[in-house]
Chain A
Amino acid sequence: MQSTSRSFKANAHRALNDAVLQRALGNIKTGFQEKRRRVVEALPEFEALRDSGRDIKNHTLAHLDFYLERFEEKVIANGGTVHWCRTPAEARETILAICRRREARTVTKGKSMVAEEIGLNAFLEANAIEPVETDLGEYIIQIRNEPPSHIIAPAIHVTREQIAEDFRRHHTELDPARRLEEPGDFTDEARAQLRDRYFQADVGITGANFLIAETGSTVIVTNEGNGDMTQLLGKCHVVIASLEKVVPTLDDAATILRLLARSATGQEMSVYTTFSTGPRRPDDLDGPEEFHVVLLDNGRSAMLGTQFQDMLRCIRCAACMNHCPVYAAVGGHAYGWVYPGPMGAVLTPSLIGVEEAGHLPNASTFCGRCESVCPMRIPLPKMMRHYRTREFERGLAPPMAKGGLAVWAFLATRPTLYRFVTGMAARVLGALGRRTGRFKSLPLAGGWTGVRDMPAPEGRSFHALWAERRGGR
Chain B
Amino acid sequence: MTPLAVVAWQEFRNDLRNRWVLAATGLLAIFALALAFLGGAPAGTTGVGRIDLLVVSLASLSIFLIPLLALLLSYDSIVGEVERGTMLLLLAYPVSRAEIVAGKFLAHLGILLVAVTVGFGSAAAALAFTGDAPGTAEWAAFLRLCITSVALGASFLGLGYLASTMVTERATAAGLALGVWLLLVIVFDLVLLAALVAFGSDIPPAAVEAALMLNPADVFRLANLAVGGNVSEAAGMVGIGAELRLPASALNGVLALWAILPLAGAWLLFRRREV
Question: Is B truly associated with A?
Answer: no
